[in-house]
Amino acid sequence: MGQKVHPKSFRLITTQKHLSNWYSTKNNYSKLLKEDYFIRVNIENLFEKFLTISSIQISRVDSPISFKNYVNVKIVCLFPREKDISRKWISYLENILKSSQKVKNKYLSLIKENLKGFSKIFLLRILKQFKKLLQMKYSRPVFFTFKFIKNQFEDAMLIAKFIGNLIEKRIPYRRILNIAFKKSLLTEIKGIKIQVAGRLNGTDIARTEWKREGKISLHTLKSNLDYAQYSQKSIYGIFGIKVWILK
């Protein structure tokens, strides 16, 4: 039996860092852990339809001196396009405002007129609501920052989510892998490995398939390796996706 080690935990001292950066005593540790979980789950649920999130980094170390109890949340995600967000927001409004046609038409016309800079305003409005909820529950200030990735084929989690979305649409997995390899190798990465598991192409028996292109040094501690695992629900069941990228 092969004893597998998580690629990121294996490199925590050299190239990787923890997603949560804080220290606490025994009495407060469980409370802060619950708070981290609450923040991550709610951010994923809030931005599920509008943003493709890669990671959520929580820190209680670097902050303004005037605040003692604080939380810094950094959301790393794919750069949102104005047109994509406006379309998703219009469809979201249509589902909510089915009863009142006049109100719906009024909102849709306002969004279509103000497409420029709409994504930033919309993200800030959602974050304001979430800040209020956090301050009411935990009574501490929260600071949000965004880090946008322009090319999704430079990040392992974004590639995994891209593959998962296409598998959900019942596109053959070999075609999906070829698209992912072609587009990712055009970037500055040295190598990529992708593993897909489940009822591939709707077969009765689940199996695991993997493919590798370029150089993937899994045993080297100094190698800047990005790793992600993601599960996607479909009509054939749950698919597991793993992505390794050597940057």
Average pLDDT in the 134-142 region? 78
CATH architecture of 152-246: 2-Layer Sandwich (3.30)
Predicted confidence band of residue 97 (pLDDT cuts 50, 70, 90): low
8, 16, 50, 182, 206 from 121: Cα distances, Å: 35, 33, 13, 35, 44
Query: Measured between alpha carbons, how far is 57 from 76 in angstroms, rounded to an integer?
Result: 8
pLDDT at 46: 82
Query: Measured between alpha carbons, how far is 55 from 124 in angstroms, rounded to an integer?
Result: 18
Give the dihedral sign, CA 187/193/199/202: positive
200 φ/ψ angles, rounded to the nearest 5 degrees = -65, 130
Contact 236, 198 (CB under 8 A): yes
pLDDT at 116: 47
* CB-count burial class (<10 Å; 0-12, 13-18, 19+) for 226: buried
Contact 189, 210 (CB under 8 A): no
Query: Measured between alpha carbons, how far is 163 from 223 in angstroms, rounded to an integer?
Result: 25
Q: Where does 51-90 show beta strands of DSSP type E?
A: 53-59, 71-78
pLDDT at 218: 87
Cα of 244 vs its chain's centroid, Å: 16
**What's the pTM value of the predicted model, to 2 decimals?**
0.82
pLDDT tens track for 204-242: 999 999 999 989 988 888 889 999 999 999 999 999 999
Domain with CATH 3.30.1140.32 in the chain: 152-246
Percent of the chain at pLDDT exceeding 70: 78
Structure tokens at 237: 């069941």
Contact 17, 61 (CB under 8 A): no
CATH superfamily, with its number, for domain 1-150: K homology (KH) domain (3.30.300.20)
Length of the chain: 247
Contact 214, 189 (CB under 8 A): yes
Domain with CATH 3.30.300.20 in the chain: 1-150
53, 87, 142 from 81: Cα distances, Å: 14, 10, 26
User: How many CB atoms neighbour CB 53 within 10 A?
Assistant: 18
- Identify which of 208, 156, 147, 153 has the alpha carbon closest to the alpha carbon of residue 7: 156
Q: Is the pLDDT of residue 199 over 70?
A: yes
What is the Cα gyration radius of the chain?
21
Position with higher pLDDT, 2 vs 1: 2
